[in-house]
Structure 1
Amino acid sequence: MVIAAVVASTVPSEAPKALRRNAEGLRAALGLPTEPPSRIRRVMRATARPLRGTTLKFGVGPVNFEATVPVGTRPGGSFLDVESLLQDMNNLLNQSGRRVVVPLDRIDETFKYDRGRQEVLVQALLQAEGRVSLLDSIELVVFLRSDLFELYDIQEKNKLVSRSLALDWSEEDWLQVLIRRVFANEPFDRLARRLSVADERIEVRAALEVLFPAELEGQPVDRWLVDSLRDGNGDTSPRLAVLLLHLTRELSAQPDAVVATVPLFSADAAQRAMTKLSDLSFSEVVSDFKVAPTFVLNCRAGKLTRFTLSEVEQLFDGAEGKIGDQVRLLERLGFLERVVEQHGTEIRSTFRIPRLYTRCWDYA
Structure 2
Amino acid sequence: MDHKLSPELEELRRTVEQFAHDVVAPKIGDFYERHEFPYEIVREMGRMGLFGLPFPEEYGGMGGDYFALGVALEELARVDSSVAITLEAGVSLGAMPLHLFGTEEQKREWLPRLCSGEILGAFGLTEPDGGSDAGATRTTARLDEATNEWVINGTKCFITNSGTDITGLVTVTAVTGRKPDGRPLISSIIVPSGTPGFTVAAPYSKVGWNASDTRELSFADVRVPAANLLGELGRGYAQFLRILDEGRVAIAALGTGLAQGCVDESVAYAKERHAFGRPIGANQAIQFKIADMEMKAHTARLAWRDAASRLVAGEPFKKEAALAKLYSSTVAVDNARDATQVHGGYGFMNEYPVARMWRDAKILEIGEGTSEVQRMLIARELGLVG
TM-score (norm 1): 0.27
Larger CA Rg, structure 1 vs 2: 1
Higher relative contact order at CA 8 Å, sep ≥6: structure 1 or structure 2?
A: 2
